[in-house]
Amino acid sequence: MSSVYINSAACISVQDTLNENFLQNLNAETSSQILKAIEPVYKEFIPPAMIRRMSKTVKMSSVASHFALKEAGVKNPDAIIVGTGIGCSQDSEKFLKNVLDNNEEFLTPTYFIQSTHNTVAGQIALGLQCHAYNFTYVNTSSSLEFSMLDAKLQIADGEAENVLVGSTDEQTERTMELYKLNKTIKKEEDLPVDYLNSETHGVVWGEGASFFVLGKEKSKNSYAQLKDIQIVNTLDLEETKQSIEEFLSKNNLTNTNIDAVILGFSGDAQSDGYYKKAMELFADSSLLYYKHLSGEFNTASGFSIFMACHILKNQEIPEVMMMNDLKKQAIENVLLYNHLGGNDHSLVLLGKA
């Protein structure tokens, strides 16, 4: 399958990633259970009357998609594809609370209408007056990867030339309480987190929105080539290295051809074992991690793809991401490996544009 190009990248995250100088100001976040995204001044991008009716994830996505389209010089994409893990959960919680508070009577439908996962893609399309293909993937931690795979297929088949692809997830009060109860989120006594050598269970939870414009043609501002994506639902720990080697072989590469590997170490002692297995293959590569910058959440891989785009374009790796001291003179191929709690394993292969 022919390569497609990532022609723009925009991200709202725990870091100040909308700021042009964000790479110089990346800060590791290890002492909080829950990390909040740094949000822009929404009224600069969205009419105030609309802001009041939008959940956080819709607002973040509207602004991130605006920046992505503007950078790519695309006014109306040929498709809008969004991946999300828990969707518009704020409005879902508000609707369910209304059901309980009002004894299932006299309910306003607004929160229910806005609680569906495809609200984000729909709102972006409405704002752009875009009547093209519009789709939402809800596949836990591989939602963005499925979205990018769809976009790649559309471009390869000649169905589209420029596709807006994004991922987004927000936090809600009740969901975070439940995540603490079922030990998804680390206990306070287990903080600060040692992401690379953790002996405790649970993660630090984050949120954010990442949007990209994928195009058929390379532009002077292109960040990377999207070479290939592989998604595996379940994987035995001992199969990790073989799965990666087969993926690379399919792309006529070996582990020595990979200049940088970005791994999703989350600080969860049990599930991080997969990343430790993967590391064994790449003794001659720059080893990087990122969830100490973004937190863990369903579509945290959006942050890693955003960072990989900047690494390939600038040919420079931020020190705060490095796990070893190896830096290659030229960065041609970057491999990203992510999963959530040991499920939904994804491999994304990016190349220099």
Q: Tens digits of per-residue pLDDT, 59-90?
A: 999 999 999 999 999 999 999 999 999 887 77
CATH number at residue 285: 3.40.47.10
Q: Are 83 and 145 in contact (CB under 8 A)?
A: yes
Taking residues 193-200, report their average pLDDT: 96
Q: What is the pLDDT of residue 165?
A: 98
Q: Both 105 and 60 in a single domain?
A: yes
Share of the chain above pLDDT 70, in %: 99
Q: Both 163 and 270 in a single domain?
A: no
Q: Both 185 and 232 in a single domain?
A: no
What pLDDT band is residue 2 in, cutting at 50, 70 and 90?
Answer: low
DSSP 197: S
Q: Both 54 and 103 in a single domain?
A: yes
Taking residues 263-272, report their average pLDDT: 97
Q: Both 260 and 136 in a single domain?
A: no
Domain ends where: 196, 215, 234?
215
CA dist., res. 121 & res. 315, Å (int):
32
Range in 1-10, 16-25, 27-36, 225-234 the model is least confident about: 1-10
Per-residue model confidence as pLDDT tens digits over 22-36 = 999 999 999 999 999
Domain ends where: 191, 215, 239?
215
Q: Are 293 and 265 in contact (CB under 8 A)?
A: no
Overall domain count for the chain: 2
Residue 259 CA: distances (Å) to CA of 135, 185, 190, 250, 346: 33, 33, 34, 18, 18
Q: Is 160 a domain residue?
A: yes
Q: Both 232 and 198 in a single domain?
A: no
Q: Over 80: is that where the pLDDT of 110 sits? A: no
Q: What is the pLDDT of residue 107?
A: 78
Q: Over 60: is that where the pLDDT of 151 sits? A: yes
Taking residues 192-216, report their average pLDDT: 97
Q: Is 220 a domain residue?
A: no
Domain ends where: 152, 182, 215?
215
Q: Give residue 274's domain range.
A: 225-352
User: What is the model's pTM?
Assistant: 0.95
Per-residue model confidence as pLDDT tens digits over 155-192 = 999 999 999 999 999 999 999 999 999 999 999 999 99
- Who contacts 100 (Cβ-Cβ below 8 Å, separation ≥6)? none
Nearest to 309 by CA among 224, 228, 249: 224
Q: Both 198 and 129 in a single domain?
A: yes
Q: Both 72 and 183 in a single domain?
A: yes
Q: Over 70: is that where the pLDDT of 1 sits? A: no
Q: Is 121 a domain residue?
A: yes
What pLDDT band is residue 52 in, cutting at 50, 70 and 90?
Answer: confident
How many residues are listed for the chain in this entry?
Answer: 353
For residues 54 and 237, the model is more confident at 237
Q: Both 56 and 180 in a single domain?
A: yes
- Who contacts 20 (Cβ-Cβ below 8 Å, separation ≥6)? none
Q: Is 12 a domain residue?
A: yes
Per-residue model confidence as pLDDT tens digits over 287-326 = 999 999 999 999 999 999 999 999 999 999 999 999 999 9
Q: Both 25 and 142 in a single domain?
A: yes
Q: Both 162 and 281 in a single domain?
A: no
Q: Both 211 and 230 in a single domain?
A: no
Strands (E), the chain: 4-12, 79-83, 133-137, 162-169, 208-215, 224-234, 260-263, 286-289, 333-340, 343-352
